Structure 1
Amino acid sequence: MDLLANLSLFVRIVEKGGLAAAGRDFGYSPASVSERVSALEDHYGARLLNRTTRAISLTDEGRLLLDGARQLVGEASDLQSQIRHGVDHLSGLIRISATFDLGRNRLAPILDQFMEMHPAIRIDLVLSDGYVDIVAQGIDLAVRYGTLTDSSLMRRRLGPSYRLACASPEYLARYGTPETPADLANHNCLVMRFGNQLDQEWPFVIDGKRKMIPVRGNKSANDGSLIRQWVLGGYGIGMKAHWDIENDVREGRIIPVLTDFSPPESDLQIVYPAGSNQPKRVRCLIEVLSAAFANGVMPQCPSNPQH
């Protein structure tokens, strides 16, 4: 049995959520995939996957193997790259998760430059404004807003993040500028949807206390970049992270409102799975992202990047 090949297949099965999809990536028939999974289970003496006709799920033993398998496969890929191309050569796939606006407007240009410096790198950018289980989906790193609540993940702070109520000059000229959060009741508010939940209460600081103000409007979406486009189009007032609208504000396309009542800052951060040795290509990208967000400079990858 080719243990490393079967471990690679096992990781892909989890990432793809199914045996057939993983098999297509490797050019294996469904029967061959099943045989290889069975061979792994025989090798470790434990059931790794619970399989039904519609879905798969990891057993406790499978979760334990997944972390180790990813590390082994990543190290083998790095070693092969170093032998073929030298120790400073970076190659292989990096899977990244980010919100829509942040991914398109901030990360994509940085990733383009990173790939120009390291042509053998491949990027899979997974955009979502909802919750993403980065471990279950095989994500190497995610760039996210807010406080880290999952204690099994590591974090690298990129900088502060502010949420701002904002609108276009055209909208404010037509409907007026709200003076207090209570005035939002008389405005069309563009609302984000996270899963089945509408973000219909916006945070503000009033008389020194954080309060949630009800808002409503005629447009909602689960895509933050669409909310931004609606704000730019003059359709209403949105609540956006300053990273997403910084250039629009600088160039006068969007105007922050109610800034005296803005909630306290939170964090923009990189999060990544703990307890595993990240491949050099991932460690390098973490360093590059940190430097780019800190000062807007795209650095060369450090020769020996650390966590």
Structure 2
Amino acid sequence: MALDLTDVALFVRVCATRNLSAAGREFGLSPAASSTRMAQLEKQLGARLLHRTTRQITVTQDGEVFLERAVALLDAAEQASTAVGHGNAQAQGLLRVAASVTFGRLYIVPEVAQFLEEHPGVQLDLRLSDSAHDLAADGIDVAIRIGPLRDSALVARPLAPSKLVLCASPDYLRRRGVPRQPADLLQHECLVLQAMNPWRLLERDGSELLLRVGGRFRSDNGEALRDAAIAGLGIGLSSTWLVADQLRSGALVRVLPGYQTTDSVISAVYLNRRFLPPKSQAFIDFFSRRFGPEPYWDVGIA
């Protein structure tokens, strides 16, 4: 039984989007043609893969089993096609990349034109979301993630450090005073990212200090907390890539600069595979060169 790889790829995208028409449009297919292809695939396999109603599409138990194999099959097919003459392989094809809304808008989007100019055979589909994508189910080739890698099925390549700094507006510090030691933060309005409390600071001897800070404003969005700090609502613990411009302009100033924070890393992550397609390799190499161990956003920050 020879499966049509287009049918298999369409099935994977239907599972990711839960929308037959939307998935079909990615392949230039009408809703009717997409439905026919799915019915044809199910007939070939002798199993119901999708349960379709007028309102929604759900994946059956057989569909879930086939989905895992389908992703592996498409991956193997791509490896086989690009492995021929790999030494001269050019980056080409549709590249799906995922990143957080803020980082993607600030640091990926401005570089897209240059990347596409250098790689004319690539089409880029950039997904910006603050929810982590399932790379296999969503068909993501590369995701930009900040922090430790928790999924053993993924490979991470570091692109740049993600340094954290304590900062506040000059107005807030004039009104409330300047903290002299970490314990002073407990007496201040602190702007808390919900996923990052307690705050982790390093003592001068290198030991880690955990501070469960509080304040009248918290959020799950880093940009909202940065803007609150600029408005004088309190002290924030932010990534330098998010507050670099404000630190350089003086809208924000460092707090407790003599104390280090526990920094993180910005990585390109992809599914664990023996062979990385040239389009993915090109994207990762491009941003590794653009960012690097001393990223440009950290230049000029006191």
Same fold (TM over 0.5): yes
In the alignment, which residue of structure 1 is the partner of 2:162? 161
Q: Aligned pairs, how many?
A: 286
Which structure 2 residues correspond to residues 35-184 of structure 1 after superposition, within 5 A? Answer: 35-44=36-45, 48-49=49-50, 54-57=56-59, 58-70=63-75, 72=77, 90-119=91-120, 121-184=122-185
Do the aligned partners of 2:18 and 2:56 also contact (CA within 8 Å) in 1?
no
In the alignment, which residue of structure 1 is the partner of 2:202? 205
Q: Over aligned residues, Cα RMSD in angstroms?
A: 3.2
Do the aligned partners of 1:47 and 1:61 also contact (CA within 8 Å) in 2?
no
**Unaligned stretches of 5+ in structure 2?**
297-302
Q: For the structure 1 residues 122 and 187, does the alpha-carbon distance in structure 2 shift closer, same or farther, using more than 3 Å as the test? A: farther
Give the letter for the 1:170 counterpart. Answer: D
Shift of 1:59: 1.3
Give the letter for the 2:112 counterpart. Answer: L
Do the aligned partners of 1:91 and 1:118 also contact (CA within 8 Å) in 2?
yes
Shift of 1:290: 0.8
Q: TM-score, normalised by structure 2?
A: 0.79
- Identity over the aligned pairs, expressed in percent? 35
What SS does the aligned partner of 2:73 have?
helix
1: CA distance, partners of 2:258 / 2:133 = 33
Do the aligned partners of 2:50 and 2:57 also contact (CA within 8 Å) in 1?
no
2: CA distance, partners of 1:282 / 1:109 = 18
Shift of 1:146: 1.6
Do the aligned partners of 2:145 and 2:268 also contact (CA within 8 Å) in 1?
yes
Give the letter for the 1:65 counterpart. Answer: A
Shift of 1:117: 3.0
Give the letter for the 1:179 counterpart. Answer: R
1: CA distance, partners of 2:295 / 2:256 = 28
Deviations 1:151-193 (A, max 9, x none): 1001111233222221122322232222233322332222224
Q: For the structure 1 residues 19 and 276, does the alpha-carbon distance in structure 2 shift closer, same or farther, using more than 3 Å as the test? A: farther
Q: TM-score, normalised by structure 1?
A: 0.78
**Which deviates more from structure 2 when the two are superposed, residues 217-226 or residues 148-157?**
217-226
Do the aligned partners of 1:166 and 1:239 also contact (CA within 8 Å) in 2?
yes
In the alignment, which residue of structure 1 is the partner of 2:281? 283
**Unaligned stretches of 5+ in structure 1?**
298-307
2: CA distance, partners of 1:233 / 1:162 = 22
1: CA distance, partners of 2:276 / 2:71 = 14
Give the letter for the 1:117 counterpart. Answer: E
Shift of 1:273: 1.0
Shift of 1:48: 4.4
In the alignment, which residue of structure 1 is the partner of 2:10? 9
Give the letter for the 1:40 counterpart. Answer: L
2: CA distance, partners of 1:71 / 1:224 = 39
Q: For the structure 1 residues 167 and 187, does the alpha-carbon distance in structure 2 shift closer, same or farther, using more than 3 Å as the test? A: same
What SS does the aligned partner of 1:135 have?
helix
Do the aligned partners of 1:18 and 1:56 also contact (CA within 8 Å) in 2?
no
Shift of 1:293: 1.0
In the alignment, which residue of structure 1 is the partner of 2:235? 237
What SS does the aligned partner of 1:259 have?
coil
What SS does the aligned partner of 2:269 have?
strand
2: CA distance, partners of 1:72 / 1:185 = 57
What SS does the aligned partner of 2:137 have?
coil
Deviations 1:124-144 (A, max 9, x none): 322333433222222211122
2: CA distance, partners of 1:115 / 1:184 = 46
What SS does the aligned partner of 1:41 have?
helix
